[in-house]
């Protein structure tokens, strides 16, 4: 179909543009370069990882009772693009899909256009404003999180998600540990995000880790603030995933990293898994090791780096792999032989899409392949609505039907890396042919 302003505006409207899960596109990825020369025999487990999958508000707002026929947050072109990319992931038949945060844009305490689709909001920190924002966040989460969850269930993809900064209303510029201010102001402007963090986490949990009020994961830091934003899950008797909440809400703000009771719980879960001979993956939203490649990112990271209690625990307890997102490009880092391996990856969907596929074999050999689905065309026009007008999304996007293999990492018996190629190879910031920044290869069109 030719892309014209008429067809795009029609698709950007309300009811009738969605067919989620109807006719899932399964691309012929299995014969791609990355699947060649794998170890003999069947893997014990296959997982995919795609943090920051949307990093934008994507859903059909026409389901709202007060729908005003204005701009929607999805259209037919986005649904085709989503089907293409999730079809590429599904073609690998993963046993699990890891989602390390930032499914949404999440600036739901704002309403730039005063549409009040989720009700009125006010950025001040007084009780009435906080109550208004909590109500709006609940309603927005019900729409966006439900839509996202259905995208995966319709494709028989089981997700293991995580809290990112966008799930708690997004960060703002400034020192890393000072981006959610208890002062109620940022740069002299009202800013009540600090007072809404815990409610945001509850809304997220009600969709992903506590659906219907029932705990999804038995192994979790019970009795702690992170009880429903952190969890541990074992797959068979060979691999354990531990997801951690890296946004520690305390009286002075939001500190980045894992601390106190959650850190002790993490230690115990790692030891439990290691005692059973498991390969251990920890999933968190932000990098610990830097520098990394990045694209359109606030570049949150653990400020103390290798001196952080979190990194020291990963190292001391023998965690095999740390997966994170946030930076919207892919980099593998290992500071020394036998130290923890970190892979930061993912991308904002309106700018690009990449994902990892990991296969664990009986000899504890882990093979990780990085794939990119190229975004071949996108519009300069931004007609998909967001509560913050500055975060409106491209009206038209078109993804390639041919995923590209971008690199491989092979480790044996934990952190012994025996192969790393292309974009998962050594990273040299000053001499880097692989970065997304400036090289996405997307043709921009005017509608």
Model pLDDT for residues 268-285, shown as the tens digit of each residue: 999 999 999 999 999 999
412 pLDDT band, cuts 50/70/90, is very high
CA distances to 18, 96, 140 from 386, in Å: 18, 30, 11
Q: Find all residues with CB under 8 Å of 350, minimum gap 6, and list them.
A: 56, 378, 393, 394, 397
DSSP state of 48: E
**Residues facing 96 on adjacent strands:** 47
What are 150-171's pLDDT values in tens digits?
999 999 999 999 999 999 999 9
Helix (H, G, I), strand (E, B) or coil at 33: helix
Q: Do residues 425 and 434 lie in contact, with contact meaning Cβ atoms separated by under 8 Å?
A: no
Could you give the dihedral angle defined by the CA atoms of residues 82, 86, 88 and 89, in that order, rounded to the nearest 10 degrees?
A: 150
What's the token pair of residue 124?
């001040």
Report the CATH architecture of 45-445: 4-Layer Sandwich (3.60)
Whose structure tokens read 């009880």? 227
What's the token pair of residue 250?
């305390």
Look at residues 447, 424, 346, 386 and name the one whose alpha carbon lies nearest to residue 85: 346
Neighbours of 17 (CB within 10 A): 18
Neighbours of 114 (CB within 10 A): 7
Rg (alpha carbons) of the chain, rounded to whole number: 21
* Side-chain-side CA neighbours of residue 190 (13 Å): 11
Sign of CA dihedral 54, 60, 64, 67: positive
Q: What percent of the chain has pLDDT over 90?
A: 87
pLDDT surpassing 60 at residue 32: no
* Most confident of the ranges 23-32, 179-188, 216-225: 216-225
2 pLDDT band, cuts 50/70/90, is low
Neighbours of 86 (CB within 10 A): 27
CA distance 74 to 378: 14
User: In the prediction, which pLDDT does 17 show?
Assistant: 42
Mean pLDDT in the chain? 92
Domains of the chain, residue spans:
45-445
pLDDT surpassing 90 at residue 34: no
CA 25 to chain centre: 22
User: For 391-403, what is the mean pLDDT?
Assistant: 97
Could you give the dihedral angle defined by the CA atoms of residues 286, 49, 361 and 234, in that order, rounded to the nearest 10 degrees?
A: 70
């Amino acid at each position: 179909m030719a892309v014209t302003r008429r067809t795009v505006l029609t698709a950007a409207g309300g009811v009738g543009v969605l067919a989620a899960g109807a006719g899932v596109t399964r691309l012929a990825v299995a014969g791609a370069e990355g699947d060649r020369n794998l170890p003999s025999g069947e893997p014990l487990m296959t997982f995919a990882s795609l943090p920051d999958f949307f990093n934008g508000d994507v859903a059909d707002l026409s389901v709202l009772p007060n729908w005003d026929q204005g701009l929607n947050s999805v259209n037919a072109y986005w649904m085709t693009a989503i089907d293409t990319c999730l079809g590429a992931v599904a073609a690998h038949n993963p046993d699990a899909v890891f989602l390390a945060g930032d499914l949404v844009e999440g600036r739901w305490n704002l309403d730039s256009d005063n549409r009040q689709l989720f009700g009125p909001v006010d950025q001040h920190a007084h009780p009435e404003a906080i109550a208004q924002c909590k109500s709006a966040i609940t309603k927005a989460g019900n729409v966006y999180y439900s839509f996202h969850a259905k995208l995966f269930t319709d494709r028989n993809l089981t997700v293991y998600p995580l809290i990112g900064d966008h799930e708690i209303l997004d960060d703002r510029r400034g020192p890393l540990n000072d981006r959610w201010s208890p002062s109620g102001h940022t740069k002299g402007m009202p800013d009540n995000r600090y007072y809404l963090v815990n409610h945001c986490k509850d809304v997220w949990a009600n969709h992903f880790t506590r659906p219907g009020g029932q705990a999804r994961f038995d192994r979790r830091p019970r009795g702690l603030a992170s009880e429903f934003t952190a969890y541990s899950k074992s797959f068979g008797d060979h691999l354990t995933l531990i997801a951690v909440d890296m946004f520690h809400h305390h009286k002075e703000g939001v500190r980045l990293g894992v601390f106190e009771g959650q850190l002790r719980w993490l230690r115990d879960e790692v030891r439990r898994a290691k005692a059973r001979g498991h390969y251990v993956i920890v999933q968190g939203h932000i990098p610990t090791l830097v520098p990394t490649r990045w694209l359109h990112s606030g570049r949150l990271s653990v400020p103390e780096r290798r001196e952080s209690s979190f990194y020291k625990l990963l190292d001391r307890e023998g965690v095999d792999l740390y997966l994170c997102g946030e930076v919207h490009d892919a980099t593998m880092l290992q500071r020394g032989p036998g130290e923890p391996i970190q892979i930061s990856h993912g991308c904002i969907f309106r700018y690009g899409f990449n994902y990892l596929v990991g296969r664990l074999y009986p000899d504890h050999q882990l093979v990780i392949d990085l794939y990119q689905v190229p975004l071949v065309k996108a519009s300069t026009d931004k007609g998909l609505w967001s509560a913050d007008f500055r975060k409106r999304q491209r009206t038209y996007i078109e993804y390639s039907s041919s995923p590209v293999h971008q690199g491989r990492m092979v480790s044996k018996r934990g952190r012994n890396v025996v192969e790393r190629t292309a974009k998962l190879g050594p990273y040299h910031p000053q001499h880097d042919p692989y970065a997304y920044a400036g090289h996405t290869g997307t043709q921009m069109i005017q509608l």
